[in-house]
Amino acid sequence: MATTLYASCRRRAALAAALACTLHAQAGQPGQPGPIALPAYNIDIGQSSVSGLSSGGFMAVQLHVAFSATFKAGAGIVAGGPFYCAQGALVNAIGPCMAASAASKPPTASLVSTTDHWARQGLIDATSNLANARVYLYSGSIDSTVKQLVMNEAQTYYQHYVSSANVFYKKDLPSEHAMVTDAYGSSCGVKASPYINNCHFDLAGAILQWIYGPLNARNSGTPGGSWIEFSQAQFIDRPATHGMADTGWAYVPASCAAKGRCKVHVVLHGCQQDPTRIHDQFYRHAGYNQWADTNHIVLLYPQTAPASPANPNGCWDWWGYDDPQYATKNGRQMAAIKAMVERLASGDAAARPQAWKR
């Protein structure tokens, strides 16, 4: 999405534009009256998990590692990379963390060392929480944005903490840089908005089944749950100034709305997939909702927003454009999403929005 742009990048803002242009796609507005406070449900927070694509993939790793005591069930990483890959530098993000080569790839041994150090300091949760997690990794064999070498290093990183038997890595499908589905989107080898490609493979279902084990067959018809547009300002002050949209979305199966016992799975879109770009296409069509319907899973779809000049294309903060603590438990976006999960899992307790704002 921006090979020629790289050559002209001479300032940080230009580099940020290059990164955002290469990474990609999300969500919109299914016609609700307006945002509300995020409701609470009967959720087993110990069964929480997260997945994401591209910048959302890097963010999913951050959430999984930093909040491993919360996201115990596991994570699905699509075209992401190892934890703290960019090390707070944009040049690392668009270099070894995306356009990796044999001579320039993520420094996984150093990233493991940083992870261990931060865990000892309490900046992230204990790495021992990762031991029993289930991790699904996906890299398209022709992904020209986040090269497969980067995801290979993500596998090496995770296998330092997670049993090899619990890490699954699919890398044999000739897909470009996109969320892969079996029924919606562009052709598999296309790299273009909305960055959702029909490769005749149900990646969302594969991720959820790897994390949670055997599931009921997905709903083959129209999803029967409800959409909630909620205010993200409950969880982060002035969200638009920190790269997040004013509102996010949640998909709630009927069984969960009726207070049945449920799980929560966080789904993170990539750059250029925020509501201003592709409206509701990502959270409607990424493939998760039909599985959630029949398996008691609330889906949380937090949303980014373009914030020029540092983040013009609505990426998640995985290189420090907003916050030097972006990969720790104190990171603004990180803490906001964690608080959303806690809110969803708080049962029938009365919500006090100010208590959830980070």
Q: Catalytic site residue 143?
A: yes
Which entry of 54, 55, 68, 346 is annotated as an active-site residue? 54
Which entry of 55, 68, 175, 177 is annotated as an active-site residue? 177
Angle of the 55-66 helix axis to the 332-344 helix axis, nearest 10: 70
- Burial of 30 from C-beta contacts in 10 A (0-12 / 13-18 / 19+): middle
Integer CA distances (angstroms), 57 to 23, 215, 226, in order: 10, 23, 26
Which entry of 55, 68, 143, 322 is annotated as an active-site residue? 143
Helix (H) or strand (E) holding 158: helix 148-159
What backbone torsions phi and psi does residue 332 show, to the nearest 5 degrees?
-60, -55
Among 232, 208, 211, CA closest to 339: 232
- Pairing type for strands 247-252 and 226-231 reads antiparallel
CA 13 to chain centroid: 24
Separation CA 77–CA 232 (nearest Å): 24
- Which structure tokens are listed for 104? 């320039």
Owner of token pair 């090899």: 164
- Which structure tokens are listed for 279? 């409206």
Separation CA 138–CA 151 (nearest Å): 8
- Residues serving a catalytic function are 54, 143, 177
